[in-house]
Amino acid sequence: MPNNPAKLYEKDFVRWTEVRAATLRKAACLGINLPLDWENLAEEIESLGRSQRRELRSRIATIIVHLLKLQCSPAADPWANWIETIARERASIEDLLDDSPSLRNELAETVMRETLRAVKRVARGLRHYGETSPNTMALIENAKFSEVQVLDDWFPGDDPNSVPLPGAGERGKR
């Protein structure tokens, strides 16, 4: 990781926010005599990193909800929109991870946590539209997605163990 704050800012924004917040808190403990609200300034910088994490969670959740709908919903009309949304969210996540590579360390846990939340949302939605059957509910309740399935070019119906398309698996290897 670069020692130069400007380079770190360019390479990994979230990591920059963490380092800057820690540096501000350290300066406050040292009693540096500048008229700054050290703790709140550090908190605000940290909140920028938390915002990036929330964005990542939200985009992953959207992808998982739409993957579940593709996998379980008998409604065929919205499929094109769901696929388009998934593609858009995947591209946005790729941009987010390019800006903040340290978020890659959180992907597997985020996918797992957001899958559990998405299962509840999709089950509730399908029940609301009367699109449930015992098989559908079992499929939803047992849903598990890998990081590769969520972030790469995988869709329900594809072999979950298949080799990703060329270039698609590189995101997790950076």
Q: Which amino acid makes up residue 59?
A: R
Q: Is the pLDDT of residue 171 over 50?
A: no
Determine the 3-state secondary structure of 28 from DSSP.
Answer: helix
Average pLDDT value for the chain: 84
pLDDT for the residue numbered 40: 82
Per the model's pLDDT, the better-predicted residue between 173 and 44 turns out to be 44
Phi and psi at residue 162, in whole multiples of 5°? -70, 160
End-to-end CA distance of the chain: 14
| Residue 114 or residue 20, greater confidence | 114
The answer on pLDDT for 63 being more than 50 is yes
Q: Domain-by-domain residue ranges, the chain?
A: 54-173
Give the per-residue pLDDT at 162: 53
